Amino acid sequence: MDLEAITCSWLQSVSALGQVGTRTPADTDSAPWTCITLLNDIPKASSSALWAVDAYLQLDLYAAGDNNQAQARDLADAVRARLAAMPGLHAGIVVSAVTDMRIRRLPDTELVPARERYILTATVTAHPAA
């Protein structure tokens, strides 16, 4: 199950969240954007045959343009709220919980120009619907 793609699709359904994907978009100036990365996909110890997993995701949340810390923080808060509403059925996958949602500020100085960025990490627990 591709929880990175399912999370991406869930967030993309809200246009106010800007661009959402698994790569840096071509245009990083016109709208805020989010890049999702799967860090770990850990089978639940209590599940048989790898039925349920905890996916540990990192979401890098960027302001449009540079020097806009408030916009990046607002995006982080909006994405966290959207993730909190994610449990349910998604393309044959049941998301049973989204937990451990932590936000920290870490400006990205490797982009030119440097960008305001918040990093949100979350654990998405899911299993197949059938």
pLDDT in tens, 108-126: 998 888 889 999 999 999 9
Q: What is the pLDDT of residue 65?
A: 78
Q: pLDDT for 40-54, tens place per residue?
A: 987 776 656 668 899
CA of 130: how far to CAs of 13, 70, 94, 95, in Å?
Answer: 25, 43, 9, 13
Residue 47 confidence (pLDDT): 56
pLDDT greater than 70 at residue 102: yes
Q: Quick one: pLDDT at residue 48?
A: 63
Cβ proximity of 37 and 7 under 8 Å? no
Residue-wise pLDDT tens digits, 12-51: 999 989 999 999 998 888 889 999 999 998 777 665 666 8
**Averaged over 67-93, what is the pLDDT?**
94
The model's pTM is 0.91
Q: What is the pLDDT of residue 45?
A: 66
Average pLDDT, the chain: 91
Letter for the amino acid at 97? A
Structural domains of the chain ordered from first start: 3-128 (3.30.2000.30)
Question: Which residues share a beta bridge with 99?
Answer: 123
Q: Locate tokens 């870490």: which residue?
A: 106
